Amino acid sequence: MRTTLLYAVLLGAACGPGGTVAPPSGWTVSWSDEFDGAAGALDGSKWVPDLGTGPNADGWGNQQLEFDTDSTANAALDGQGHLVLTALKQSQGGRSYTSARLVTYGTFDQQYGRVEARMKVPAGQGLWPAFWMLGADILQAGHEWPTCGEIDVVEVRGQEPAIAVGSLHGPGYSGGAALSDRHVLLGAKLSDDFHVFAVEWDPSRISFFVDDQRYRTFTAEAVQTSGKRWVFDHPFFLILNLAVGGNFVGAPNAQTVFPAALVVDWVRVSRRAQ
């Protein structure tokens, strides 16, 4: 039921595998998933699969080309301390690709904190891995996207695998007009190894990090000075997905390799220590 309700409105430090990660100094972990279970299904008390192509069958409002499933072929623990989201070139639901989209809507949300994931992203034209958040009030009248707010901890265009993109979406600054910046990894690709992508979210500002290097801070003052609303003062839930195609990346091409995998070592949410 949680997932069905969500369809109606969704338009739009390192450690080895299996190791528990201590939070950065000054933070206390409030929620995490280390993905340490046996190979197979993930923890259903934490993650809920979003299924299909979105409420209007339009690729989640982004013209994505995949059909998202709850199959372990598309989202599963690998038994080595990872969650693996796999995009496959196979037909289902009228689409030529399948993948997975996982949310914590109804299982976990939080207002403010440090939100981070250690992940290895795939490379290839038309692949769109993302770790992001939506306002948990999205089902309340008057709070539909983008009024509920969206925080994109990281998105990567598969054809630009050295660039991490972080963004904020709200009323008057959403979609292609989002508040956005990017971090460029010099001399390497994000797809070559695991990296930690994070935001530090406070009442008046949100900062974006790659491997603990801050590359951008957006402030409530700047947004409000521009005449727009800061919509990030309420709880948000988490989303992990690996899209195929869509407005942000375009379609795959003949060189895009399938299966393609987004490998997640851990996800952690912390609060500032008192």
Phi then psi dihedrals of residue 110, to 5 deg? -155, 150
Using pLDDT thresholds of 50, 70 and 90, give the confidence band for residue 169: very high
Residues 6 or more apart in contact with residue 166 via CB below 8 angstroms: 152, 153, 154, 155, 180, 181, 182, 183, 197, 199, 208, 215, 216
Percent of the chain whose pLDDT exceeds 70: 92
List the single range of 141-145, 192-196, 247-251 with lowest mean pLDDT.
Answer: 141-145
Residue ranges in 2-73 assigned as alpha helix (H):
2-7
**Per-residue pLDDT tens over the stretch 52-62:** 999 989 999 99
Distance between CA atoms of 51 and 198, rounded to whole angstroms?
A: 26
Enzyme catalytic residues? 150, 155
Position 88 scores a pLDDT of: 98
Segment (H or E) for 222: helix 220-225
Peptide bond into 122 cis (omega under 30): no
Total count of domains within the chain: 1
pTM over 0.85: yes
Q: What angle do CA 9, 126, 75 make, to 5 degrees?
A: 60
**Per-residue pLDDT tens over the stretch 26-43:** 999 999 999 999 999 999
Q: How far is CA 139 from CA 45, 129, 264, in A?
A: 21, 25, 28
Distance between CA atoms of 91 and 76, rounded to whole angstroms?
A: 20
Which CATH number fits the domain that encloses residue 239? Answer: 2.60.120.200
Domain residue limits at 65: 2-272
Mean of pLDDT values over 201-205 = 97
For residue 188, give both structure tokens: 């390497």
